[in-house]
Amino acid sequence: MTLTHPSPNFGERRGAGRPDLVVLHYTAMSTCAEALARLCDPMAEVSAHYLIDTDGTVLSLVDESARAWHAGAGEWRGEGDVNSRSIGIELANPGTHPFAERQIAALERLLSGILDRHNLPPQSVIAHSDMAPDRKADPGPRFDWRRLALQGLSVWPDPAPPGDAPADLRAFGYPDAPQDTLLQAFRLRFRPWAQGTLDDTDRALAAGLRRFAVDGAGGDA
């Protein structure tokens, strides 16, 4: 079920004005109602295009044509102002609990429609922690990225001959950041329970991400 609950917190997209990313978040709040109140509070100056409750209810807060205020400082594929380039989806979750099945099923339906409407490839769906690895951790280690990838709604790397992991991660889209910061963000999404220093499994999976790198025209790099 999709309900419309307009937020006053939005503006015009800058530049090309066309979204080329979808950024996934968790709300880090105890209830969906609490998150909804904040995302619609003009004093908070935050919003997202969609908020999905644990029961699968989708709340449409900002029209996809507008610039919602969800991403903050960060970059992806060498470009900043991610808000102007993206559609933001918030999942009601405090960050400490597994995601509800009905919530994820609703997300899958929503993502499928967004990718179709905007002609976006699966690699356009990223985590908030991907584009802001020095300050964000959502949607966190409990989010099942592989499940999305199996449906063509995100990507999952096959291991490739190990190479220069930081360079491979930057080629995929990660910002230019210290190796430890990149490793933390990469593992949060692709090896969430891994520990220790960079290893050959990290290097092989990072190398596998290179095939999902895209150029400015949206083709394979």
Tell me, letter by letter, the H, E, C secondary structure of 63-127: CCCCEECCCCCCCECCECCHHHHEEEEEECCCCCCCCCHHHHHHHHHHHHHHHHHHCCCHHHEEE
| 179 three-state secondary structure | helix
Least Cα distance to 197 among 207, 210, 182 occurs for 182
Number of H helices, E strands in the chain: 8, 8
Distances (CA, A) of 211 to 90, 163, 168: 28, 13, 10
pLDDT at 1: 82
CA angle 129, 130, 136 (to 5 degrees): 20
From the CB of residue 12, how many other CB atoms can be counted at a distance below 10 Å? Answer: 9
Structure tokens at 55: 């029961």
For residue 24, report the phi and psi dihedrals to the nearest 5 degrees: -100, 140
The domain made up of 2-156 is a member of CATH 3.20.170.30: no
- Residue ranges of the chain that CATH labels 3.40.80.10: 2-156
In the set 45, 90, 101, 108, the catalytic residue is: 90
The whole-angstrom separation of Cα 175 and Cα 133 is: 8
Q: Is 75 a catalytic residue?
A: no
Quickly tell me which residue has 């690699």 as its tokens.
123
| Per-residue confidence in pLDDT tens, the chain, 221 aa | 889 999 999 999 998 678 999 999 999 999 999 999 999 999 999 999 999 999 999 999 999 999 999 999 999 999 999 999 999 999 999 999 999 999 999 999 999 999 999 999 999 999 999 999 999 999 999 999 999 999 999 999 999 999 999 999 999 999 999 999 999 999 999 999 999 999 999 999 999 999 998 643 233 32
The whole-angstrom separation of Cα 45 and Cα 157 is: 36
Least Cα distance to 200 among 169, 173, 162 occurs for 162
Burial of 205 by CB count in 10 Å (0-12 exposed, 13-18 middle, 19+ buried)? Answer: buried
